[in-house]
Amino acid sequence: MTFQTILFDLDGTLIDSVRLILDSYHHTLATHGLPARTDAEWLRGGGTPLRVQFAPWQDAPGIDVLIATYREYNLANHDSCVTVYPGVVDTVRAIRAAGLATGLVTSKNRGGAERGLRLCGIETMMDVIVGADDVVNPKPHPEPVEMAMRLLNASPAHTLYVGDSIHDMMSGRAAGVRTAGVLWGPFTRQDLEPAEPDYWLECPEDLTRLVTASA
């Protein structure tokens, strides 16, 4: 398989922001006096937008109120809590050096995604960004991946989507691209097996080897 385009998820794939995300959810429910959820319960929705995660409280206090509280806490703690996974920068750099197009497909809004990329020094390494506010139907729907391919004039047959969650794998598969499940994020092989990724990546260097071998 020869790849020409590599699309990435953000949280849990390029940047280690999972603890901050979970703490932001816990803070939000506590602030509004709502029953707590466990980390595992929140992680089941990993890879989906805030509006999906907060859907059970759409009537009271309301999704917009919860999102505002979440973002206030998340942004206040973002730069001190988020790091890039070891090996990611070198891998993305190698992919671009091999002449492949790159794109970010995330369930974060564009502004938050750009902040994460800047913090980790990879903001100039993505040719396109597709965020939750760019689409009508977020992951696991294929629309975000399809939009990124359209912007890059990419062929599904030569595109790989790299992500850490089952929703990433479902979105990529529905869009007709190959998928790669990363195992350095919060999810295990057992978590991702139901989505049947085409490739398993134990570390970012595995992606470098996979992509450069196909170039």
SS (H, E, C) the chain: CCCCEEEECCECCCEECHHHHHHHHHHHHHHCCCCCCCHHHHHCCCCCCHHHHCHHHCCCCCHHHHHHHHHHHHHHHHHHHCEECCCHHHHHHHHHHCCCEEEEECCCCHHHHHHHHHHCCCHHHCCEEECHHHCCCCCCCCHHHHHHHHHHCCCHHHEEEEECCHHHHHHHHHCCCEEEEECCCCCCHHHHHHHCCCEEECCHHHHHHHHHHHC
| Range 5-16+83-214: architecture per CATH | 3-Layer(aba) Sandwich (3.40)
pLDDT at 215: 65
Is the pLDDT assigned to residue 214 strictly greater than 80? no
For the chain, give the mean pLDDT: 96
Is the pLDDT assigned to residue 1 strictly greater than 80? no
Is the pLDDT assigned to residue 130 strictly greater than 70? yes
List active site positions. 9
pLDDT tens, 131-163? 999 999 999 999 999 999 999 999 999 999 999
Q: How confident is the model at residue 37 (pLDDT cuts 50, 70, 90)?
A: very high
Percent residues over pLDDT 90 in the chain: 94
- In the predicted model, what is the mean pLDDT of residues 70-87? 96
Q: Which fold has domain 18-81?
A: DNA polymerase; domain 1 (1.10.150)
CB 166 within 8 A of CB 191: yes
The pair of structure tokens assigned to 158 is 């030569």
Percent residues over pLDDT 70 in the chain: 99
pLDDT tens, 181-195? 999 999 999 999 999
Q: What are the residue boundaries of the structural domains of the chain, listed by start?
A: 5-16+83-214, 18-81
